[in-house]
Amino acid sequence: MKNPTKHLKRLTAVGAVALAAFSLSPAAASALPSGNPAGDGEPGTTIVGGTRAEQGEFPFMVRLSMGCGGALLEKDIVLTAAHCVDGSGSDTSITATGGVVDLEDPAAVTAKSTEVLQAPGYDGQGKDWALIKLDKALDQPTLPIAKDDAYNEGDFTIAGWGADQEGGDQQRYLLKAEVPFVDDATCKSAYPDLVEGEELCAGKLDTGGVDSCQGDSGGPMFRKDDAGEWVQVGIVSWGDGCARPGKPGVYTEVSTFAADIEDAAAQLGG
């Protein structure tokens, strides 16, 4: 188990001190404020060093009411992080908001969760993925997942409504940024407990300054495939603080779990 005071899962939490307390608890999602996806002053912790996304630029993005992000794997199934949910089973407590970059936009569409499927065997280290079944389809494009490691290099795009600085507040507008791939050997030197083969690292090692942060957990890391279409290669998971030099962001390596994710989606009726 990672030290929760050092390696922070990137959930939204109430204030900087609470970030450590919530960092690794699988039940953290249910302990967090759940009713304020619009970000109207509720403390939280988007993308550091990012710029505002354009409306419709990443239409597969959704905001989850427990303080995480996600992407539409199917129109009625959200792919997010395992640490954002509290186990598997029936769950009607989560609201997914999509269709907008401005969470206060009246054009936002919402759906409620009906069931959650957390990665089998998840224990806080590796395997950080989960699916949320929605009570209705959202009329938005979906984000395909990488089936192999062909796209696990290069520059990636990250996006979210989390903190724009370490210890900062949840954002009203979706922010985006680009982060470069960091190889496993280099990342392992920064994080000895990195789970190679299950986790993927990205960030500006020398300078820092660009990263996902608290409130971005569960959101996608993605890039263009050979056909010029977006494909998801990672899921925002954890890191030491946000955007620190020498401390890249750590993401679930989606291609490792692609078959499992597709099987789980089929179980949920996707």
Is the residue at 25 inside a domain?
Answer: yes
Choice among 76, 86, 128, 211 that is catalytic: 128
Average pLDDT, the chain: 85
- List the CATH number of the domain containing 66: 2.40.10.10
Is the residue at 248 inside a domain?
Answer: no
Mean pLDDT value of segment 211-230: 94
pLDDT at 264 over 50: yes
> Any catalytic annotation for residue 83?
yes
Count up the domains in the chain and report the number: 1
User: Is the dihedral angle over the CA atoms 235, 239, 241, 242 positive or is it negative?
Assistant: negative
Question: For strand 61-64 and strand 230-240, is the pairing parallel, antiparallel, or unpaired?
Answer: unpaired
Q: Report pLDDT for 255.
A: 98
**Per-residue pLDDT reduced to its tens digit, 51-110:** 999 999 999 999 999 999 999 999 999 999 999 999 999 999 999 999 999 999 999 999
% of the chain at pLDDT higher than 70 = 83
Q: Report pLDDT for 168.
A: 83
Choice among 113, 217, 237, 255 that is catalytic: 217
Is the residue at 28 inside a domain?
Answer: yes
Mean pLDDT value of segment 128-155: 97
C-alpha 121/C-alpha 195 separation (Å) is: 14
Choice among 23, 65, 76, 83 that is catalytic: 83
Is the residue at 66 inside a domain?
Answer: yes
Is the residue at 199 inside a domain?
Answer: no
Q: Which domain holds residue 74?
A: 21-40+60-142+258-267
**Per-residue pLDDT reduced to its tens digit, 4-46:** 334 556 555 433 222 222 222 223 332 233 333 333 333 223 5
Q: Report pLDDT for 61.
A: 98
Q: What is the pTM of this model?
A: 0.85
Q: Report pLDDT for 8.
A: 58
